[in-house]
Amino acid sequence: MLPTTAAAALVVTATGATVAESSAALTFEVSGQQTALARTEQAADDATTSDLASRRQASAMQTAALQGRVEAKQRAARSAARKAAAEAAARAKAEREGKRWVRAIKTGTLTSGFGPRWGKTHDGLDVGAPTGTPLYAMSRGTVILSDNVFSFGNKIEIRYWDGTVSWYGHLSRRDVQTGDTVMPGDQVGLVGNTGHSFGSHLHIEIHPTGGDNPINPAPWLRKHGIMVG
Ligand SMILES: [Zn+2]
């Protein structure tokens, strides 16, 4: 009997143990499955969170990149606007500069005025100055004549931006050619005593509408703030 009882007990014990073990194993297994499931879910959540985070990050980066591009465009636009404004200002300044009026000769002595002289009309002013004294363009314009002509000697005619034409006569030297563009104050030649002249001087005429219609230069020069002599 004993072996049988013992065997039975053992069996029971063994069975119980087995059952217990199985139960524990099952519990463990279930618990393990739950844990695994939980882990899977957590992993899925983490993955979702991570995915969401990386998508958020990507989105943030895209936003930053877009913002960067927008800012770069704004900077470029501001830079272009500044450049355009600077160019417009430079053009306006050049325009103003070009429309300035300056004296034909810096210093000299008025020796003969406009009007009747020696039985005919003197069509300009005579400004006595030493030979070699520089002569200047009075404003922006075009040289329409640079030549040695009878009576005037070396003569320069300039048509200015407003249509006025000035004549300079008796020059010792001409520094510009017909067709040249001049700006206010550009040196165009030197005072001299060439042509029909008795002494070194500048003969200056003003023809407001071009052609050969001289006016008294004095009021015109005064009006422009550039009276000579
Ligand atoms: Zn004269």
Distance from the alpha carbon of residue 127 to the mean position of ligand 1, in angstroms: 8
**For 172, which DSSP code?**
S
**Owning domain of residue 25:** 1-98
What's the pTM value of the predicted model, to 2 decimals? 0.68
The DSSP string of 13-81 is: HHHHHHHHHHHHHHHHHHHHHHHHHHHHHHHHHHHHHHHHHHHHHHHHHHHHHHHHHHHHHHHHHHHHH
Shared domain check, 82 and 155: no
Q: Residue 83: its pLDDT value, please?
A: 96
Show which of 73, 98, 123 is a domain's final residue: 98
Do 158 and 166 form a contact (C-beta atoms < 8 A)? Answer: yes
In a domain, 228, yes or no: no
Residues 80-93: what's their mean pLDDT?
94
Distance from the alpha carbon of residue 126 to the mean position of ligand 1, in angstroms: 5
Residue matched to tokens 């003197």? 122
Shared domain check, 165 and 83: no
CATH number of the domain bearing residue 161: 2.70.70.10
Instruction: Express each pLDDT in 172-210 by its tens digit.
Output: 999 999 999 999 999 999 999 999 999 999 999 999 999
Q: Residue 51: its pLDDT value, please?
A: 80
Distance from the alpha carbon of residue 70 to the mean position of ligand 1, in angstroms: 69
Distance from the alpha carbon of residue 178 to the mean position of ligand 1, in angstroms: 22
Shared domain check, 212 and 161: yes
In a domain, 103, yes or no: no
In a domain, 64, yes or no: yes
